[in-house]
């Protein structure tokens, strides 16, 4: 390690986080940031040091018009629902359903009539440009089994995994476990919320996580697939 360069990087990161790096120097530094993880790390450390100092600033509630303007800009007119709520049930009825139903059929150990499986198509959210395909998740009609399968194999960095989440109507997402990027995953009933099909899950989502899954219990990486659970 070149210590003089490391010290310089630290000093620049300090100036950037403190706000004293200005003008052209600030813009050049921001361009460098994108390409240099070590510099990003130094900036993150300085931000973690300095930002809590702003806790001493007396809060100043903004006027209501600011929030109204935010809403108008993000959701002009008709787009009045989060994107995963806008996923229509017609998508579930598309050709993907066949593959998922076949996968589900393999699971059936009980020949007695059971409620039909619920099929959810998880569309790419566009959060990661290269992940364009979609996932199919099939929930057993009794809510006790869940099968996922990518429509096409998903390219994923070697040190990253996919984690499936149940998104309830209220409250925090709940992990259903890790799923394969290139094949069928069968999730066992112990992992599934008892209320999966009785209102406990509004949508399913897939996020990119470090090996072993999210260390925090909530999605930490980008959410790359999501689909509404329509009963």
Question: Which whole-number Å values give the CA distances from 27 to 15, 24, 32, 145, in the listed order?
Answer: 13, 5, 9, 52
Residue 196: which region, alpha, beta or left (left: phi > 0; alpha: psi -120 to 50)?
alpha
Q: How far is the CB of 168 from another protein (least distance, A)?
A: 10
Structure tokens at 18: 């403190």
Q: Please say which residue, 5 or 75, places its beta carbon nearer to another protein.
A: 75
Interaction with another protein in 84-143: which residues (CB under 8 A)? 84-85, 125, 127
Which window, 96-104, 110-118, 164-172, 178-186, contacts another protein (CB under 8 A)? 164-172
**Quick check: 69 binds another protein (CB under 8 A)?**
yes
Which window, 113-121, 132-140, 188-196, 221-229, contacts another protein (CB under 8 A)? 221-229
Q: Please say which residue, 84 or 104, places its beta carbon nearer to another protein.
A: 84
Structure tokens at 188: 């066992």
Q: How far is the CB of 169 from another protein (least distance, A)?
A: 9
Nearest to 125 by CA among 12, 224, 8: 224
Nearest to 227 by CA among 209, 206, 197, 207: 206
Which residues have CB under 8 Å from 156's CB, separation 6+? 162, 181, 208
Among 5, 8, 20, 116, binds another protein (CB under 8 A): 20
Q: Please say which residue, 39 or 103, places its beta carbon nearer to another protein.
A: 39
Among 1, 2, 4, 59, binds another protein (CB under 8 A): 59
- Which secondary-structure segment (H or E) carries 27? helix 23-35
Start-to-end CA distance of the chain, whole Å, equals 58
Where does this chain bind another protein (CB under 8 A)? Answer: 11, 14-15, 17-20, 22-23, 26, 44, 47-63, 65-67, 69-70, 73-75, 81-85, 125, 127, 165, 167, 170, 172-173, 203, 205, 210, 215-216, 218-223, 226
């Amino acid at each position: 390690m070149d210590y003089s360069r490391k010290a310089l990087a630290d000093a620049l990161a300090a100036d950037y986080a403190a706000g004293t790096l200005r003008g052209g120097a600030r813009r050049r530094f921001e361009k460098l940031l994108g390409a240099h993880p070590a510099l990003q790390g130094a900036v993150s450390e300085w931000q973690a040091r300095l930002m809590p100092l702003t806790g001493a600033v007396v809060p100043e509630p903004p006027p209501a018009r600011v929030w109204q303007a935010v809403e108008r800009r993000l959701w002009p007119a008709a787009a009045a629902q989060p994107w995963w709520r806008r996923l229509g049930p017609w998508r579930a009825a598309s050709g993907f359903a066949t593959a998922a139903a076949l996968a589900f059929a393999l699971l059936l150990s009980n020949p007695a009539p059971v409620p039909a499986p619920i099929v959810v198509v998880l569309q790419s959210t566009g959060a990661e440009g290269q992940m364009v395909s979609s996932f199919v998740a099939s929930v057993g009609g009794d809510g006790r089994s869940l099968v996922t399968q990518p429509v096409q194999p998903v390219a994923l960095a070697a040190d990253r995994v996919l984690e499936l989440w149940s998104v309830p109507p209220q409250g925090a997402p709940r992990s259903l476990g890790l799923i394969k990027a290139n094949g069928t995953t069968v999730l066992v009933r112990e992992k599934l919320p008892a209320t999966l099909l009785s209102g406990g899950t509004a949508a399913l989502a897939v996020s990119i996580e470090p090996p072993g899954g999210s260390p925090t219990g909530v999605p930490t990486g980008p959410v790359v697939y999501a689909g509404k659970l329509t009963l």
